Structure 1
Amino acid sequence: MTDVKRSKKRMTKQRKIILEVLKNTTCHPTADWVYDQVREELPNISLGTVYRNLKVLKEMGEIMELDYGSTYSRFDGNPKNHYHFVCNNCERVYDIDMPVKNDLTDIANDHTDHLIEYHRLEFYGMCSKCNSNNIKYE
């Protein structure tokens, strides 16, 4: 294994701090938000370094990247498969505390020639905060 490959798998100080930030929040933040939080402990870290380390942490299986087709991704410190709720109004992302329906993957495999390895499921609607503010969709 080359030094470059080995360094990507090592838990560096920067990666450890980024991971701690993600594990200590439930807001499913953007990379910019993570950058702002990490700068409190590592003032000289660059945004590019945060992006690179988020990618490596994802490759290591330490975090989950939630890509909703927008110009930015959100990140989750819980890498285990679980469901999310996305508010159509404020765009916040919440975990849904319910068991993953692993048989859904098996059912889908029975209906295709493709090999489905896992599924990711998001629910969409209005979060309780927006709903309590009586926000209406236009």
Structure 2
Amino acid sequence: MATFDDALTYLKKENVRITPQRIAILEFLTEVQNHPTAEDVYRAIEAKFPGISVATVYNNLKLFTEIGFLKEMNYGSSSSRYDFSVDPHYHVICQNCGKVSDFFYPKLDDVEMAASQLTDYQVRSHRLELYGLCPTCQQTSLETEGEIK
């Protein structure tokens, strides 16, 4: 799914009831670029929907994931993050703050073919995660080191 309208059309096609809460969650997911957690989504829409529960947010995220236009990403023991872009891409994860950034590198598609040929597996997908420090945490680290010296 590329846009809010695409996702909304798909929900209607799948006979999913379109509620104001679902629209709000969907709008947030299509506008944000930071791979939010369910808690992030909840905090973003709770002012507009004071009666909404965290469970409602989780249930809708699960539904959107099952339908296939949202990807749940699990990294270690931290909360799952959600990615509205289901097109093939990779992630760089900050080891300090947990920020996740997308990057695209099409040459890695050859890895699937090579793995299949070398192992006789029928490879269906792959996932690449790189870990390091985001620019903000790098700057904070430099500032902290400067204070220590």
| TM-score, normalised relative to structure 2 | 0.76
Residues 40 and 81 of structure 1: CA distance in aligned 2, closer, same or farther (over 3 Å): farther
1:129 to 136, 140, 146: 136
In 2, are the aligned partners of 1:85 and 1:123 still within 8 Å (CA)?
A: yes
**Which residue in 2 is equivalent to 1:3?**
none
Query: Aligned partners of 2:28, 2:63: CA distance in 1, in Å?
Result: 15
1:94-119 CA deviation, whole Å, 9 max, x = no partner?
A: 11244362222212222324322111
Q: Structure 1 or 2: larger helix share? A: 2
Residue type of the alignment partner of 1:109: S
Which residue number in structure 1 is paired with residue 23 of structure 2? 16
Matches of 2:116 and 2:24, distance apart in 1: 39
The alignment yields a C-alpha RMSD, in angstroms, of 2.2
- Structure possessing the higher relative contact order (Cα contacts under 8 Å, 6 or more residues apart): 1
Match of 1:41 in 2: 48
- Which structure 1 residue ranges, 5 or more long, are not aligned? 1-5
Given that residues 63 and 78 in structure 1 are in contact (C-alpha distance below 8 angstroms), is that contact kept between their aligned partners in structure 2? Answer: yes
Structure 2: runs of 5+ lacking an equivalent: 1-11
**Equivalent pairs, count:** 130
**Which residue does the alignment assign to 2:77?**
70
In 2, are the aligned partners of 1:19 and 1:77 still within 8 Å (CA)? no
TM-score computed with the length of structure 1 as normaliser: 0.81
1:53 aligns with 2:60: yes
Select the residue among 94, 104, 109 that pairs with 2:101.
Answer: 94
Kindly provide the CA deviation profile for residues 53-94 of structure 1, in whole angstroms up to 9, marking residues without a partner as x: 101101111111110131410111212221110011221111
My pick for the range that moved more, 16-25 or 94-103, is 94-103
CA distance in 2, matches of 1:41, 1:100: 43
| Structure 1 ranges of 4+ moved more than 6 A | none
